[in-house]
Structure formats: structure tokens, C-alpha cells
């Protein structure tokens, strides 16, 4: 019996409806996959708290020296070039000093830390404030700062005197505002040299390159000895925008939202809490039997590498421990949240990867406590374990922090070789029951290494657990 035209039309209509429904469920299924959504190749903008700015972290751990460098990366290569030149030159100077003093540094390694703070003070416009600390030999290290004002929309750097109405009258106002803030400061007042400050402000060659802005204040960051005695360190003086308003050009008043006050307030570095306790109890079960190994990842999170590693771990039903840097969680809180939501263990790796054995008590506590705060804010959980940068630990660190350190038994040196096959070789040669394997999720080559290591260990019959589970087993 031949089908009628009506039957044919009905079949066509149902076919179209079927295609529409199938497309809908396929799209819905993709949305339900957090890894697929997060791995789109669109510059990872979904993960940027600071729109258009990424954070790059470079860690070096050698016998004679430690280096921890953090710097911003923009979409525009012209902006990146200037930032890169500053970082590269700083590192070159440090390494030259290390080479000159190499024989003295085996017992007490030299250190270089380049850190930065970021503040958005207008739409698409940031203050980038570098803080550089270097210690090679002698009783004292060196400290310095560098300010960049960056317009990422127009891809250029802004000179501070483009924002200020720079004339003699206004410079006199700036002097009096700074003088007032210095004199009211309990921390700096006794160290101020008024004549140094006045000379600094009145110098026509001074373009206020140490000035940066937040959405609340104009801040002047002085290097050591510039306007104060050395005991004052590197003073930072904040003047409320309301007091600087008449000194700012009309263009920048408009860009900074003086009239409608619409500058979005970005997250600030959390204040340290009074407690530095990590959660004592893990919600993980004690492994029952078999061969166990713990994969651990330091120095993240990373907006793409970490997500790819999470997907690989998921394919093997593997749990791992992520020792995260606070300053990177500040940039990528949603990545930290995904790690926690997928049942992996969260570890504290300090805010900026400084060698804790070289720090005073107050700075040591701040590195850990502020990281606890930012992890708590991002994930809703406190970290359960702690790993000191470079594995550097001594009795003073143990006493001040009161936190048992989690180290490792296998160092894959992935940060040094950037060779997945070399990483796999190190694991093959050294893995045993209960091994704790160290890798770093900030390196792209480590993603491929993780895939190789998971495959090998799975074939060898190992089960992947967290470091807390290893300790309980």
C-alpha cells in the first residue's frame, strides 16, 4: 500500500521535531560538562577576575638560589614587552650577583621575589605595582618597587602626569597632603625628612612615577631612603580621592566615574585572620587496601592547564591534592572552586611562594593566613594540608605556623625539564606504595606528563588518592 501525502507530511514533521529535540539535548549535555565549557579556546576570559589580565608565575629552585616571579600578561604584546623587559632585567641582575657569590651560597641560597598588586581605577585601566625583594649576601637585602598604569583598551601605558594637572600650585598641594599623611602616621612620622620630601615634590624632573591609583585613593609608594630614614622601609602613603579630586584632569575624572561613581570594586587581598589552623579532619575515607599513590600539584591554579588535568584525573577516577598559591587563587577563584567541587584536596602553598625560613614571624604568618582566607572565599572550604615553598622548613617555621608540612617522595622536576617523557621516567624509576609525587599544574608540558603518568600507574595497579588519605593509610 502506497503512503498518502498526509502520511508523508506527518513523517517529515516528526522527523524535523526529532532533529530539534536531539540538538537541544546534545547542547544541554555539553553545558552540563564543566570541563568542556571551561576548555573553550576563547582566551579563557570566563576565568579572569581582572578582565583582560592573566597572571604568570615562574618558580626556580636551585642549590644556590630561589626565585619566585609573578607578573601580569595582557592580550597586547606591546604591553607585555615592557613588563617583560622589567622582569627580565631584574632577573639578569640578580643572577649576575649570584654568579659572583656562588661559592658562598650553597648553605644559604640567594633569593629573588618579584610580586605585584593590581588595582582597577577606571574601566579597562589598571595600576600594576611591582615589589621586588632580592637577597644575595650580607645582612640586608634590597627592596624596590615599580609602578605601571595600564590602559588595556587602548593598549598603552599612562604617564602619571597625564592624570594630574601638573603645575607649581598643585605640586605644593601634593606636598602638604603627603606631609599631613606622613605626620599622622604612627609607622612613618618619626622617620620622615621634610626637606627630602619637599625637594622630591618640587623636582621638575619628577613625573610621580611612584604614584598609582585605586578606586578609593591616590597612593605614593616610596623606595627606601628617598624621603625617610632606612628604618621606615618603603613607605606607602594613601590620599583619599576626595582630597585629590581638584588635581585630576576632567578627562580622568570622567573615566574614573567621579560623577556617577560606577567604577566596579574588585576583590582586595584579604586581611589575615587571627587563626591559621587548617582543617584538621578530612572528609575522605581511609583507603581500604591495595597500592596507593598521591599525585600533588603545586603553584596553581591555572585557567586552562588545571582544567585539563582535572579532566584527565576524572577519566581515571583519580583524586589528587592541589597546593595552591593565594595570589593565583585571587586571579582564578572559579578554578579553585571547580577543584574543590570535583572532590580533590585543597592545600595551602602560601600567597607568593617565598622561602618561609628567610622571613620574620609576621610575614610568615601573613603568607599562610591570607592564603587560607582567599581559598575559603573561593571554595567555601579551608585547606586541609600545607606545603612550604621549595620544601623549606625549619624549627622556627614549625613553631610559628603550628602546621605539619606535607612534602613529597618523588620530585618529577617537571618545572625544569618540561619533558613529559622525562617526568614519566622519574616516576617509573622511583614509585613505590605510598609515594607522594610532585608536579606543577602551571606548566603546559605537565598536562601531557600527567596523562602518561596516570596511564602507567593505572596499568601498574595503583589507586590515586589524596595526601591525607596516604597519611591515614
For residue 382, what is the DSSP state? -
Crossing angle of helices 305-315 and 444-459, rounded to 10°: 10
Cell numbers representing residue 119 in the block? 588595582
To the query of whether residue 440 is one of the catalytic residues in this protein, the response is: yes
DSSP string, 185-229: -TTTGGGB-HHHHHHHHH-TT---TTEEE-SSEEEEEPPTTSSB-
Q: Which residues contact 318 (CB under 8 A, 6 or more apart)?
A: 295, 454, 464
* Candidate list 353, 440, 441, 443, residue with the active-site label: 440
Q: Count CB-CB contacts under 10 A for residue 68.
A: 24
The rounded distance, in Å, linking the Cα atoms of 442 and 306 is 7
Phi then psi for residue 437, to 5 deg, are -100, 130
Q: Which residues contact 458 (CB under 8 A, 6 or more apart)?
A: 316
On whether the CB atoms of residues 332 and 301 are closer than 8 A, the answer is yes
DSSP string, 276-339: -PPPS--SSPPP-SSEEEEEEEEEE--TTHHHHHHHHHHHTT---EEEE-HHHHHH-HHHHHHH
Query: What is the signed CA dihedral for 319, 446, 408, 364, rounded to 10 degrees?
Result: -100
Name the 3-class secondary structure at 380.
coil
The rounded distance, in Å, linking the Cα atoms of 96 and 420 is 31
To the query of whether residue 298 is one of the catalytic residues in this protein, the response is: yes
- For residue 140, give Cα distances in angstroms to 111, 136, 145, 177, 228: 12, 9, 17, 32, 17
Nearest CA to 39 out of 409, 447, 450 is that of 447
Going by DSSP bridges, is the β-strand pair 156-157/236-240 parallel, antiparallel, or unpaired?
unpaired
Q: Which residues contact 76 (CB under 8 A, 6 or more apart)?
A: 152, 155
* Candidate list 298, 299, 330, 414, residue with the active-site label: 298
Nearest CA to 75 out of 64, 83, 67 is that of 83
For residue 269, what is the DSSP state? P
The catalytic residue positions are 298, 440
Amino acid at each position: 500500500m502506497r503512503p498518502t501525502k498526509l502520511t508523508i507530511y506527518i513523517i517529515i514533521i516528526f522527523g524535523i521535531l526529532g532533529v530539534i529535540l536531539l540538538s537541544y539535548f546534545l547542547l544541554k549535555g555539553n553545558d552540563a560538562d564543566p570541563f568542556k565549557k571551561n576548555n573553550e579556546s576563547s582566551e579563557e576570559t570566563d576565568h579572569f577576575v581582572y578582565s583582560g589580565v592573566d597572571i604568570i608565575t615562574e618558580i626556580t629552585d636551585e642549590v644556590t638560589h630561589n626565585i619566585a616571579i609573578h607578573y601580569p600578561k595582557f592580550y597586547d604584546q606591546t604591553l607585555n614587552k615592557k613588563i617583560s623587559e622589567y622582569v627580565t632585567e631584574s632577573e639578569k641582575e640578580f643572577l649576575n650577583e649570584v654568579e659572583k657569590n656562588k661559592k658562598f651560597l650553597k648553605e644559604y641560597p640567594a633569593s629573588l621575589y618579584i610580586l605585584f598588586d593590581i588595582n582597577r581605577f577606571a574601566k579597562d585601566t589598571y595600576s600594576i605595582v611591582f615589589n621586588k625583594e632580592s637577597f644575595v649576601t650580607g645582612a640586608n637585602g634590597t627592596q624596590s618597587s615599580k609602578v605601571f598604569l595600564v590602559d588595556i583598551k587602548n593598549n598603552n601605558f599612562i604617564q602619571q602626569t597625564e592624570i594630574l594637572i601638573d603645575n607649581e600650585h598643585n605640586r605644593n598641594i601634593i606636598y602638604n597632603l603627603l606631609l599631613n599623611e606622613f605626620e599622622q602616621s604612627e609607622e612613618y612620622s618619626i622617620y620622615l625628612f621634610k626637606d627630602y620630601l619637599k625637594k622630591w615634590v618640587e623636582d621638575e624632573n619628577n613625573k610621580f612615577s611612584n604614584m598609582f591609583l585605586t578606586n578609593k585613593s591616590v597612593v605614593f609608594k616610596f623606595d627606601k631612603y628617598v624621603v625617610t630614614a632606612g628604618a621606615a622601609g618603603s613607605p606607602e602613603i594613601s590620599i583619599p580621592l576626595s582630597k585629590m579630586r581638584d588635581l585630576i584632569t576632567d578627562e580622568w575624572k570622567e573615566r574614573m566615574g567621579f560623577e556617577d561613581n560606577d567604577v566596579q570594586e574588585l576583590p582586595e587581598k584579604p586581611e589575615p585572620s587571627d587563626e591559621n589552623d587548617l582543617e584538621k579532619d578530612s572528609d575522605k575515607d581511609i583507603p581500604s587496601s591495595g597500592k596507593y599513590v598521591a599525585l600533588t600539584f603545586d603553584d596553581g591554579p591555572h585557567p586552562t592547564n588545571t582544567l585539563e588535568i582535572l579532566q584527565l584525573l576524572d577519566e581515571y577516577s583519580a583524586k589528587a591534592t592541589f597546593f595552591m598559591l593565594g595570589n593565583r587563587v585571587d586571579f582564578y577563584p572559579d578554578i579553585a572552586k571547580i577543584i574543590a567541587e570535583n572532590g580533590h584536596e585543597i592545600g595551602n602553598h602560601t600567597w607568593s611562594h617565598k622561602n618561609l625560613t628567610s622571613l620574620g614571624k609576621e610575614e610568615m604568618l601573613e603568607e599562610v593566613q591570607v592564603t587560607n582566607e582567599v581559598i575559603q572565599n573561593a571554595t567555601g572550604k579551608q585547606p586541609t594540608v600545607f606545603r612550604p615553598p621549595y620544601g623549606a622548613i625549619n624549627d622556627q617555621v614549625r613553631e610559628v605556623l603550628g602546621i605539619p608540612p606535607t612534602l613529597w617522595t618523588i620530585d618529577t622536576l617537571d618545572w625544569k625539564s618540561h619533558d613529559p617523557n622525562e617526568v614519566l621516567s622519574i616516576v617509573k624509576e622511583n614509585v613505590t606504595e605510598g609515594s607522594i609525587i610532585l608536579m606543577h599544574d602551571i606548566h603546559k608540558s605537565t598536562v601531557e606528563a600527567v596523562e602518561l603518568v596516570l596511564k602507567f600507574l593505572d596499568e601498574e595497579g595503583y589507586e590515586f588518592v589524596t595526601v591525607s588519605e596516604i597519611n591515614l593509610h
